């Protein structure tokens, strides 16, 4: 097993999983674990986590701009209007993951997202209702390898179950757990990681969507 925290030549200590690539480190430092309440970004991440299934996140991250171009910036209304002709076109797009089921799932999920927003007000309000309460202790509840390595959580199981009932696809509990970690519903930067305090501070400033 790799060291769980790694300190680079500049003296910056990070979670070990991001150290293989500069793009991955930047994602870790600026995005992962920081709270997101924008519906478009939440929808994008759900879709990209679905595309990641069976692959590494770094693979998807390197193709993220291609995905954004292919799916109209993940604007929900525009994706929902995509057709079978778009599916065929994207299956020829070498810049993304050419998986018919995942492409069709993205279009389906956009349509289901519109329904959910009409019913709940926003994706953010629906998703963030499952966020655990932020600890108010100085340590903000230490995150250990045992916590980080868990593949699911009660919250991700509940989110997956609810989305599936609403007709979403590629939203299993493990996929939703990774989504919730990335979007800041949990702060799973390991204790001692330089980004942990920033993520906690961002969560304290967060005004939860209603």
Catalytic residues, by residue number, are: 27, 49, 57
Strands 5-7 and 13-15: antiparallel
The C-alpha atoms of residue 186 and residue 181 are separated, in whole angstroms, by 5
Task: Determine the Cα–Cα distance for residues 28 and 77; give it in Å rounded to an integer.
Answer: 29
Cβ neighbours, 10 Å, residue 198:
16
Structural contact between residues 171 and 50, judged by C-beta atoms closer than 8 angstroms: yes
φ and ψ at 13, to 5 degrees? -100, 130
Residue appearing with tokens 């959580």: 153
**Closest residue by Cα to residue 47 from 186, 165, 176:** 176
Give residues with Cβ within 8 angstroms of 95, minimum separation 6.
Answer: 63, 66, 69, 70
Mark out the alpha helices in the chain (DSSP H runs): 22-30, 39-52, 57-62, 64-70, 76-80, 84-90, 100-120, 123-128, 145-148, 154-165, 173-182, 196-205
């Amino acid at each position: 097993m790799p060291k769980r925290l790694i300190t680079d030549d500049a003296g910056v200590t990070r979670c070990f999983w991001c150290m293989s690539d500069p793009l991955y480190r930047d994602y870790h430092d600026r995005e992962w674990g920081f709270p997101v309440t924008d519906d478009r970004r939440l929808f994008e991440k759900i879709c990209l986590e679905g595309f990641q299934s069976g692959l590494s996140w770094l693979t998807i991250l390197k193709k993220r701009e291609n995905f954004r171009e292919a799916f109209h910036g993940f604007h929900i209304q525009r994706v929902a209007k995509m057709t079978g002709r778009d599916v065929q076109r994207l299956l020829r797009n070498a810049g993304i993951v050419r998986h018919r089921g995942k492409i069709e799932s993205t279009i389906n999920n956009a349509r289901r997202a519109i329904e959910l927003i009409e019913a709940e007000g926003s994706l953010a309000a629906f998703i963030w209702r499952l966020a655990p309460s932020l600890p108010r202790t100085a340590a903000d509840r230490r995150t250990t390898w045992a916590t980080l390595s868990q593949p699911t959580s009660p919250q991700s199981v509940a989110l997956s179950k609810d989305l599936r009932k609403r007709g979403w696809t590629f939203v299993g509990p493990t996929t939703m757990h990774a989504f919730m970690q990335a979007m800041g519903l949990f702060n799973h930067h390991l204790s001692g990681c330089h980004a942990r305090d920033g993520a906690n501070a961002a969560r304290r400033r967060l005004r939860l969507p209603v």
